[in-house]
Amino acid sequence: MITETDVQQLFGSILERIQNAELREKVVKAWTLACQRGGWESVDDLRAMPFTLLTNTRGVNFIEHTIAVTEGAYGLAKAQEAVYREMPYEVDYDRLLAGGLLHDVGKLLEFERDEQGKFRKSRSGMCARHPISGTAIAYEVGLSDEVLNTIACHAKEGDGRPQVVETVLIHQADFGTFNPLVMMEKGTLIQ
């Protein structure tokens, strides 16, 4: 069983930057709940899980992806704040960090292991992609509408939809980690 302590250890360096203790707890609760619902037993499962089934991830796992996207979105925000004489919009860092950690939490329901132990799309995943299932989990633990937006609208479901700025940053960081791998498969990444 994956416990709240496991989740705290996995994401400690990011969680500790979330100022609002209640928000931090809800992020951990959402992650733990999604692990339970998805039937994941151990942290080793999470470390073995590819972050997407849509392309060859070349060994990048779900945990690494979640951290890279969160830090990427954080870096995008910090860079603008450091360089602009005046920020045209305000970034809510608590929301950004929470949304980064949770943007793909629905993948814990979207994926499962087959009889050979390989990862595949689950029945739940066929019924609802991870932005939808992740939003449902986040709603269940009482996260705010704005955090729900970062999950619901971080992928193609959010194209052209109203978004908080943290969703925009998470989306860009997410595709900054995904697109190069897809391009490698297609032979369009110049190396």
Q: Is 104 near Fe ion (CB under 5 A)?
A: yes
3-class SS of residue 114 = coil
- The least distance separating Fe ion from the CB of residue 103, rounded to whole angstroms, comes to 5
- Report the distance separating Cα 119 and Cα 112, nearest Å: 6
* Nearer of residues 93 and 175 to Fe ion, judged by Cβ: 175
* Nearer of residues 56 and 83 to Fe ion, judged by Cβ: 56
Q: Which tokens sit at 84?
A: 């602009």
* Nearer of residues 86 and 133 to Fe ion, judged by Cβ: 133
The angle subtended at Cα 98 by Cα 168 and Cα 172, nearest 5°, is: 25
Q: Which stretch binds Fe ion (CB under 5 A): 1-9, 70-78, 99-107, 118-126?
A: 99-107
Q: Which stretch binds Fe ion (CB under 5 A): 53-61, 96-104, 109-117, 131-139?
A: 96-104
- Report the distance separating Cα 100 and Cα 39, nearest Å: 22
Residue 106's nearest CA partner among 174, 152, 159 is 152
Q: Tell the residue number behind the tokens 């997410």, with chain if given.
A: 174
Q: What is the largest CA-CA distance in the chain?
A: 56
Q: Is 110 near Fe ion (CB under 5 A)?
A: no
* Nearer of residues 81 and 119 to Fe ion, judged by Cβ: 119
10 Å Cβ neighbour count for 123? 8
Q: Which stretch binds Fe ion (CB under 5 A): 21-29, 102-110, 134-142, 163-171?
A: 102-110
Residues 115-174 that bind Fe ion (CB under 5 A): 174
Residues 167-186 that bind Fe ion (CB under 5 A): 174
* Nearer of residues 110 and 174 to Fe ion, judged by Cβ: 174
